[in-house]
Amino acid sequence: MTDPRKNDAVLVTGATGTLGPYLCAELLRQTRATVYCLVRGTDQVRAQTRLRARLRKAAAPDLDSPRLRVVRGDLTERRLGITPAEYDALAETTSAVYHCGASTNLAAGYDDIAPLNIGGTREVLGFARHRRTKTVHHVSSLGVFAEAHSAGHPEVDEQDIPSAPMAGSIDYSGTKITSELEVRQAATDLPVTIYRPGLILGDSRTGATDPGELFTRILRAAITVGLAPTTAAQAPVAPVDYVARALVALSQLPATGRTYHLIEPTPLIISDLFAHARNYGHRLDLCDTTSWRRALDDNQAHSAAATIISFWKSVHYLLDTPADYQAPHVHSRATRRALASLNIPCPTSDQAFFTRVFDHLTATRVLPAL
């Protein structure tokens, strides 16, 4: 296996998403590899501008580094949407692919997101086989276990392999299961490692938070209607900077074929999320989930409420409200052992963390000022 700490090159997909910019920043920090980023854009200048804007938010160490390069392309197109000559040259240059490009649009149907989430993964696997064998670091999701409890798996860990019934009726989870299984099948001739984050929170250092992330959207909706649903649900989470730092560090271990759960040791209690908002100063009265949904319906003129309604099915699962639904308990013991050996502790998402998050969301006008 090629060591990215040496002067090599890697390809990153999803570099302008939530995790991707932090992943690029950590590759620049932790390795000496040249980092090629596959970015969509109408031309090279726009693609570069788009990437730099995202990296700036992730506090990348050197935006002008000659090791950071943009490849204008598209995961949904054949040969990554680049010319045959560029494709061959890139395939000969790179030793690994960090594949986190995916649609996380929870309102979209399976057929709408499959071309990117499944087709894009197939393109990455084809690229990894072309010219020289490349290691594939595939970012999956703990969403693959959305209905694991109902499918007979009340607890899951890194060794569990998802199956179609575990996705339930959530289309995003279904596409992530299919793509993960195809990566596993590719392990017969490619070195692969799989990483499963849970819900990705803001930057533990600065509070910088993607406004498109699920927990941010739920907070916006709750604050918009002044109500928070009562729930005993919990969710596996971790700050985005920790997920990226841990992933890049684990990717430099010599062994492949492993799966890692990039989450905090203790899940986030969803009701605590609303408590943090109240402690920050937002007024949130408690109500049952049915009343909360009714309040959202009554406030559909507000985009925050309308957005939650558009992917209510996923929110319903997160809040643990279906009568016959219970989320599985997710373990990460093997991952924590590996990270302990690398001296990478996980920060705690406590009130101080959420204060930084609320400061950022307020400053960027994602949440209203008090």
> For residue 2, what pLDDT is reported?
47
Q: Tell me the whole-structure pTM to 2 decimals.
A: 0.94
Residue 94 has pLDDT above 60, yes or no: yes
- Read off the pLDDT band of 63 (50, 70, 90): confident
> For residue 292, what pLDDT is reported?
95
> Which of these, 296, 249, 284, 279, lies nearest to 353 by C-alpha position?
279
Residue 48 has pLDDT above 60, yes or no: yes
The distance in angstroms from the start CA to the end CA of the chain is: 53
Instruction: Lowest mean pLDDT of 216-230, 319-333, 339-353, name the range.
Output: 319-333
Residue 13 has pLDDT above 50, yes or no: yes
Parallel, antiparallel, or unpaired for β 192-197 and 199-201?
Answer: unpaired
Contact 260, 158 (CB under 8 A): yes
pLDDT tens profile 129-176? 999 999 999 999 999 998 888 888 999 999 999 998 888 888 999 999
> For residue 61, what pLDDT is reported?
65
Distance CA 86, CA 301 (A): 47
- Read off the pLDDT band of 323 (50, 70, 90): low
> For residue 1, what pLDDT is reported?
44
* H or E segment and range at residue 328: none
> For residue 33, what pLDDT is reported?
95
> For residue 144, what pLDDT is reported?
94
> For residue 279, what pLDDT is reported?
95
Instruction: Provide the percentage of residues in the chain whose pLDDT is more than 70.
Output: 95
Instruction: Count Cβ atoms within 10 A of the Cβ of residue 111 and give its class: 0-12 exposed, 13-18 middle, 19 or more buried.
Output: exposed
> For residue 88, what pLDDT is reported?
96
DSSP assignments along 136-190, one per residue? EEEE--GGGGTTTTTTT-SEE-TT----GGGGTT-HHHHHHHHHHHHHHHHTTTS
Mean pLDDT score across all residues of the chain: 92
Instruction: Lowest mean pLDDT of 9-18, 49-58, 82-91, name the range.
Output: 49-58
Distance CA 362, CA 68 (A): 32
Residues belonging to the chain: 370
> For residue 133, what pLDDT is reported?
96
What are the phi and psi torsion angles at 322 (to 5°)? -60, 135
